[in-house]
Amino acid sequence: MKKVLVTGVAGFIGMHTAQRLRNDGFEVVGLDNLNTYYSVDLKLARLHKLGIPTRRAQYNKLLEGTEGISFIQLDITDYEKLHQLMIEQKFDYIIHLAAQAGVRYSIENPHAYIDSNIKGYLNILEGCLHTNVEHIIYASSSSVYGLNKDEVFEEDHKTETQVSLYAATKKANEAMAHSYASVHKLPLTGLRFFTVYGPWGRPDMALFKFTERILNDTPIDVYNRGNLSRDFTYIDDIVEGIVRLIPHRPSGEIPYQVFNIGSNRPVKLAEFIDCLEHELGKKAKLNMLEMQPGDVERTNANTSKLQKAVGYEPSTSLADGVHEFVKWYRSYYNQ
């Protein structure tokens, strides 16, 4: 049985990834620091969904969950403890999803991004030098494209115009990965995620915030007066791409690769709101605002490279994805 470390396992993508890996027969060890960037209760509920006992006082040691998932509360900025875990557990694969998320929060609290996304990522890479990890897959972001003016974003486009510190740290992660692949021959694959959504999503993401405010008759903030489009990608499609990539280890003199992972179906913000209104059976009150700092007007992923590599074909429509999210939201909040 292959053993996988999933960092950020109490996060949105981390929980779904760990669940799929367990179902596919992997032995999963999940790691998370359970920080307070958003509701810790939601993170604990995700762990409970994975079968992890939610007794926080015990999280300083490795906890056995159910059906092949274990958990440890650990911050990736703590190199000594992280290194010890990696040496003891002898992971075959690492899915590195832990990071300080959020574009706008990086303007308010930049040090958190340097600590987690740069120092923490460096600790993961350094820890891998002392183990026989077969493949490391890490989370990059569509935000690395920054002010790219192309209609569709492709992996070989220039990524030199990031407009937030969060995006800059993700670009730095790709450069660090290339360096460690070149010098140390670590097999590293980066995934540029495009606006992931679905059940158990993050409260700071648009779908979550819009749903909450529409149900509470609170106006929703619509930036750039609605002239935005996003390549919304359903969580199951994201996880399918991750799982397919695990055995697709990069080769060659520099074992490094990076892929877009999105839906390749950008949606206008107005269409997105219409879809949510239809699912909720309720109209939104709109607060039309100007463009906000750190944001970009559009994202659109060309996923042909990932399709060619592993047959990746996202299949979830926006209507179906929003339906599944709203169903989860109403259940989780007893509405």
**Residues carrying an active site annotation:** 166
Q: Is 266 left (phi over 0), alpha (psi -120 to 50) or beta?
A: beta
* Distance from chain centroid for Cα 178: 20
- Identify which of 233, 241, 224 has the alpha carbon closest to the alpha carbon of residue 301: 233
Name the residue type at position 41. Answer: D
Distances (CA, A) of 65 to 5, 6, 62, 285, 301: 14, 14, 9, 43, 36
- Please identify which residue in the block is written with the tokens 């590599």: 309
SS3 164: coil
End-to-end CA distance of the chain: 41
Helices (H), 185-288: 206-215, 235-245, 269-280
Name the residue type at position 147. Answer: L
Structure tokens at 11: 């996060």
